[in-house]
Structure 1
Amino acid sequence: MKKLLSTAIVAATALVGAEASATNYSLWIHGRNGGSTQRGNYADFSYWGPSGTAAGINKKAVNWNGTQKISVENFRVRDALDCFCTGTNWCYIASHSAGNLQIGYALSMYGGSTRNKKNAVPNASGVCGDAGGTQVGWNIKWVDVASGAGGGSELANYGDWATSEPLTSDLVTSTARAMYNHNTTRSLWFYMFAGSRGTAYSGVLPGQDDEAVAYHSTGGVSATGGFCNPGDWFCDGTLNTGTAATSNGKAKWSYHSVSLRDDGEAYDHYAAGNWAGIVGPVRSDMVTYAK
């Protein structure tokens, strides 16, 4: 309901006077990778899947070096937000895994800053020209998050990922949670999609997980812990849908709501170059609502 209402409000605003020329965009922010995506190329969807697949209106791939620290590469996310989410233009955001940290960091640290309005025409580096004037923050409707790593992953804690990658140190649970104020979303809703098709490999992850990130992170919970689907044993509590706290009273961060809890254990972490895993339901959501 919140998503439908938000979309309706912005659509109505777009009908007023100067807003008539507004364009909506869908920005896709990927997670950890080998640094292979083409930074500045908003048409490179190789991380996600075939570029011809529907994934929301005017989709753009926000590519960054997914081996580097969030603070080092966040300028690429801000470049994209400046390009497509200023002036009369509005954005829907979809993120995956460490992409959750990227958009969360950008909003918390820079969402209250003055931005130059841009013309949505990027150069080879992904930077757009000035359109004249400034504004505070960006025009964003909401954020969909597939397997969000905003709370980090125990795989980073215990060195199960390549420790030589700078990003791994950011994904340590204590580091990820202290990186910025996760409650500061500039009043934008983060809709969390949490997968639970884990394997024996992910045994160090507490509670339910998708093989890479546990429910405490993918569900936007403000504390670490072993959270599970209803009826599961040996857990700290149930991850509840919507904005409700876990069954043992651990609150979600402000403006975080669980849209999908994977009760059927159907979705793993990986897009697999084909919009697969937990990315699939987020893609479907973007097709339905990002218009």
Structure 2
Amino acid sequence: MKTFVSAVVVAATVLVAPEASATNYSLWIHGRNGGNTQAGNYGDFSYWGSASTAAGVNKKAVNWNGTQKIGGQNYRVRDALDCFCTGTNWCYIASHSAGNLQIGYALSLYGTSARYKKNAVPNSSGVCGNTDGTTQTGWNIKWVDVASGAGGGSELADHGDWAMSEPLVSDLVTTTARAMYNHNTTGAKWFYMFAASKGTAYSGILPGQDDEAVSYHSTGGVSGSSGGSYCNPGDWFCGGTLNTGTNACSDGRAKWSYHTVELRDDGEAYNHYSNGVWGGIIGPVRVDMANYAL
């Protein structure tokens, strides 16, 4: 499907060729961290790895305080979307873990709002200036890649295994994350889910396959008000199989609208963490962005 979408984008670009000033950007939205990234600095890739690594055309790091609640920090994401995804400019989005909640929240609650067209020249706070004073509806986004998405929350938050003093952790409770916004409302933007399963440390807490932080029910974009136990094919100790693409799970539970499983980690090769080297499940997403975010 990614190849088909890219072909459509290329065709559309040809049709609007006279808009020569149009620029594409790749925005990377991180997840939970110690709040040590430089918010508003679109060149700070310390969460991910080396800034010189290929990760999509004109890549920008969308930094926010990853200890705070989604709603309170979402303006940082909206600032980035306004900067680089309005006017004649278009964006590809990559997100990791709680970054899935950030982009989902922005699209669901603000995706049809009026946005001033910006000049892609951010100030020290990460805010860009207006171009001509006109507005548009929502943002110009081609698609969203999601590495180990926490849009469905994590049982580690439910059980208090993370620092409960961090406000973000209360947002990551499974029922809270799933009720935070309408996950089916993406503005018809496709979410390509990359689900990792190299998890061992919390196997007694996280249901089904997990990557040591989030389970398949979340990383696979499975719908519902609570989580479930989903695994790779052939695992007899799960409630069902997480099917690839847009197909429902084997127990009949559907994925959220415009969510598709691009990678299911059948070989249990990827965990949750970047480790500062674009590692874990972030690795395949980086490759996908480098290949298709053009």
TM exceeds 0.5?
yes
**Structure-1 separation of matches of 2:135 and 2:200:** 49
1:78 paired residue number? 78
Write out aligned runs for 1:68-107 (5 A): 68-107=68-107
1:272 aligns with 2:271: no
Unpaired runs of 5+ residues, structure 1, are: none
**Structure-2 separation of matches of 1:72 and 1:61:** 19
Q: Is the 8 A contact 1:146 1:278 kept in 2?
A: yes
Write out aligned runs for 1:204-223 (5 A): 204-223=205-224
1:5 paired residue number? 4
SS of aligned partner of 1:287: helix
Displacement of 1:234 in angstroms is: 1.5
Write out aligned runs for 1:1-291 (5 A): 1=1, 3-15=2-14, 16-132=16-132, 133-223=134-224, 224-291=227-294
**Structure-2 separation of matches of 1:42 and 1:18:** 29
Q: Which aligned segments of 4 or more residues in structure 1 are displaced greater than 6 angstroms?
A: none
* TM-score, normalised with respect to structure 2: 0.97
Identity of matched residues, %? 78
**Structure-1 separation of matches of 2:191 and 2:137:** 20
SS of aligned partner of 1:8: helix
**What amino acid is the match of 1:245?**
A
Displacement of 1:21 in angstroms is: 1.5
1:108-161 Cα distance to aligned partner (Å, 9 max, x none): 000000000000000000000001111000000000000000000000000000
Displacement of 1:18 in angstroms is: 4.2
**What amino acid is the match of 1:92?**
Y
SS of aligned partner of 2:157: helix
Q: 1:261 to 1:17 in 2, by over 3 A?
A: closer
**Structure-2 separation of matches of 1:198 and 1:263:** 12
Q: Is the 8 A contact 1:202 1:212 kept in 2?
A: no
Displacement of 1:11 in angstroms is: 2.7
Q: Is the 8 A contact 1:116 1:130 kept in 2?
A: yes
1:36-59 Cα distance to aligned partner (Å, 9 max, x none): 000000000000000000000000
**What amino acid is the match of 1:7?**
S
**Structure-1 separation of matches of 2:221 and 2:17:** 38
Displacement of 1:6 in angstroms is: 2.4
**Structure-2 separation of matches of 1:262 and 1:101:** 21
Q: Is the 8 A contact 1:153 1:214 kept in 2?
A: yes
**What amino acid is the match of 2:287?**
S
Displacement of 1:5 in angstroms is: 2.7
Aligned residues: 290
Pairwise CA RMSD of aligned residues? 0.9
1:193-214 Cα distance to aligned partner (Å, 9 max, x none): 0000001334200000000000
Displacement of 1:73 in angstroms is: 0.1
Q: Is the 8 A contact 1:14 1:20 kept in 2?
A: no
Unpaired runs of 5+ residues, structure 2, are: none
